[in-house]
Amino acid sequence: MVWGSGSVKVSIGRDRPDRRLLIGFLVNPIAGMGGAVGLKGTDGDLVYEALRRGARPVTPAKAIRFLRELRSLGLKSRILSAGGVMGCNYLESVGGLSYECLDTPPPHVRKTTRGDTVTAVKRMLSASTDVIVFVGGDGTARDVGSVTDGIIPILGVPSGVKMYSGVFATSPEAAAHIIKALEDGSGEVVITESVVADVDEEGLKEGVIRVRRYMNVETLRLNGLTVTTKDFASSGSYEEKYAVAKYFVEEYLRKDKLYLLGPGSTVKAITDVLGLGKTLLGVDALYNGRIIAMDLSCYDIMDLIRKFKEAYIVVTVIGGQGYVFGRGNQQFTPEIIRSVGKDHIVIIATKSKLAKLRYLLVDTGDPKLDRELSGYVRVLVGYREERVVRLLPASDPTVLRSSGAAASSKPPV
Amino acid, single-letter form, for residue 10: V
Contact between 278 and 291 (Cβ < 8 Å): yes
| Mean pLDDT along residues 403-412 | 46
Contact between 256 and 351 (Cβ < 8 Å): no
pLDDT on residue 102: 95
CA distances from 269 to 216, 232, 277, 278, 348 (A): 34, 17, 10, 9, 11
pTM summary value: 0.87
Residue 382 β-bridge partners: 385
Q: Which of 135, 166, 232 is nearest to 7 (CA)?
A: 166
CA distances from 83 to 29, 54, 87, 90, 295 (A): 12, 26, 6, 10, 36
Query: HSE-up of 119 (CA within 13 Å, CB side)?
Result: 13
pLDDT band for position 162 (cuts 50, 70, 90): confident
- Cα separation, 245 vs 243, in Å, equals 5
- Cα separation, 175 vs 222, in Å, equals 9
What percent of the chain is modeled with pLDDT above 70?
83
- The helix (H) or strand (E) run that includes residue 353 is helix 351-354
pLDDT on residue 100: 96
Domains defined along the chain, listed by start: 8-221 (3.40.50), 238-403 (no CATH)
DSSP symbols for 1-19: ----SS-EE---STTSTT-
Q: Which of 365, 383, 384, 363 is nearest to 374 (CA)?
A: 363
Amino acid, single-letter form, for residue 52: R
Distance of CA 162 to the CA centre of its chain: 6
pLDDT-wise least confident of 7-21, 199-213, 260-274, 313-327: 7-21
Q: Measure the CA angle with vertex 163, ends 20 and 149; round to 5°.
A: 50
Amino acid, single-letter form, for residue 14: R
- Specify the 3-state DSSP secondary structure of 219: strand
pLDDT on residue 280: 87
Work out the end-to-end distance of the chain between its first and last CA atoms, rounded to an integer number of angstroms: 42
Distance of CA 302 to the CA centre of its chain: 23
pLDDT band for position 395 (cuts 50, 70, 90): very high
pLDDT-wise least confident of 38-47, 197-206, 342-351: 38-47
The backbone region for 242, taken as left when phi is positive above 0, alpha when psi lies in -120 to 50, beta otherwise, is alpha
| Mean pLDDT along residues 300-320 | 93
